[in-house]
């Protein structure tokens, strides 16, 4: 029985066939040359002394919870994130299930000066080139949905065109794939992508798999709602945090982001 993740990837495959016809790969490669220089995300996430490293996410809706924000202005949100201490910005570009658009990345790349993550369901070389052509600085690869050779090939292609891959893992099998691919930016996602449920025990467990791997930069994804959780996982070895829902649903996005970075007051959670 297909789950929501399978459904999303099936829809993306159908969509990609149409996209290839509308915009041939040759045109995408030409457009890559029109973008600003890539901003190195690894450097941005390693800089010390500037608070906790938050990859703040722009996400209109989810298939699990529907719309997350009433007044959705991606460019204004990107500016607020930049002005309030985000180390990088993640932008959902999947349209059918998350209400995203590649144009959001392109607009933000012209307006802000921090790295941008193209977050989507990527399985094809075309999408990697497309990520660079829209102005992204790094892109997401979901290990669960790729075999180890696919993952390695897409990661290596990203390197060739100047993009870092954030390799997302959910279990020990995913971690093995990520290590095989040579991932340097490794995410541990606490959300079950088939049900939408989050469990921070996933990060607590999988962090043990990375002991002694000092070359990895580790990103905690999903389920972070408080400054105390950020501090806990920094103590366990996490370097950065990809946070979307808690920011998108906050009454004041700027204040909530400052709380996560450690530069603001603790906001009430109710």
User: Is residue 204 in a domain?
Assistant: yes
User: Is residue 76 in a domain?
Assistant: yes
The one catalytic residue among 119, 152, 177, 256: 119
Point out which residues pair with 139 in neighbouring strands.
118, 165
Instruction: Give me the number of domains the chain comprises.
Output: 1
Residue 81, SS3?
Answer: helix
Q: Are strands 61-62 and 66-67 parallel, antiparallel or unpaired?
A: antiparallel
The one catalytic residue among 222, 245, 246, 256: 222
189 is catalytic: yes
**Does the pLDDT value for residue 267 go beyond 60?**
no
User: Is residue 99 in a domain?
Assistant: yes
**Does the pLDDT value for residue 228 go beyond 60?**
yes
* pLDDT number for residue 64: 86
Q: Which domain holds residue 160?
A: 4-261
Tokens describing residue 118: 């193209």
User: Is residue 269 in a domain?
Assistant: no
What CA–CA distance (Å, rounded) separates 82 from 89?
Answer: 8
Instruction: Pick 6 or 131 by higher pLDDT.
Output: 131
pTM: 0.94
Residue with tokens 């049900």: 195
User: Is residue 244 in a domain?
Assistant: yes
CATH code of the domain covering residue 222: 3.20.20.70
User: Is residue 267 in a domain?
Assistant: no
User: Is residue 270 in a domain?
Assistant: no
195-204 pLDDT tens trace: 788 999 999 9
User: Is residue 266 in a domain?
Assistant: no
The one catalytic residue among 84, 90, 131, 189: 189
* pLDDT number for residue 244: 95
* pLDDT number for residue 264: 66
* pLDDT number for residue 270: 44
**Does the pLDDT value for residue 60 go beyond 70?**
yes
The one catalytic residue among 57, 94, 245, 259: 57
265 is catalytic: no
259 is catalytic: no
């Amino acid at each position: 029985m297909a789950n929501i993740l399978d459904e999303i990837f099936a829809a993306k495959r159908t969509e990609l066939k149409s996209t290839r016809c509308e915009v041939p790969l040759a045109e995408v490669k030409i457009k890559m040359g029109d973008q600003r220089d890539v901003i190195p995300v690894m450097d941005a996430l390693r800089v010390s002394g500037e608070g906790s490293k938050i990859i703040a996410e722009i996400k209109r809706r989810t298939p699990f919870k529907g719309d997350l924000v009433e007044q959705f202005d991606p460019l204004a949100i990107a500016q607020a994130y930049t002005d309030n201490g985000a180390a990088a910005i993640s932008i959902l570009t999947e349209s059918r299930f998350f209400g995203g658009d590649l144009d959001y990345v392109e607009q933000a790349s012209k307006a802000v000066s921090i790295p941008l993550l193209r977050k989507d369901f990527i399985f094809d070389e075309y999408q990697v080139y497309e990520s660079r052509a829209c102005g992204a600085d790094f892109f997401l690869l979901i290990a669960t949905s790729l075999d180890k050779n696919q993952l390695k090939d897409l990661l290596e292609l990203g390197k060739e065109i100047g993009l870092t891959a954030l390799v997302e893992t959910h279990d020990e099998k995913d971690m093995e794939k990520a290590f095989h691919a040579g991932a340097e930016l490794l995410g541990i996602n606490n959300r079950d992508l088939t049900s939408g449920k989050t469990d921070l025990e996933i990060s607590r467990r999988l962090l043990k798999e990375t002991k002694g791997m000092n070359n990895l930069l580790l990103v905690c994804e999903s389920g972070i709602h408080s400054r105390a959780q950020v501090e806990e996982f920094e103590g366990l070895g996490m370097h950065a945090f990809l946070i979307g829902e808690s920011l998108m649903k906050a009454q004041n996005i700027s204040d909530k982001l400052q709380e996560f970075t450690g530069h603001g007051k603790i906001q009430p959670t109710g």
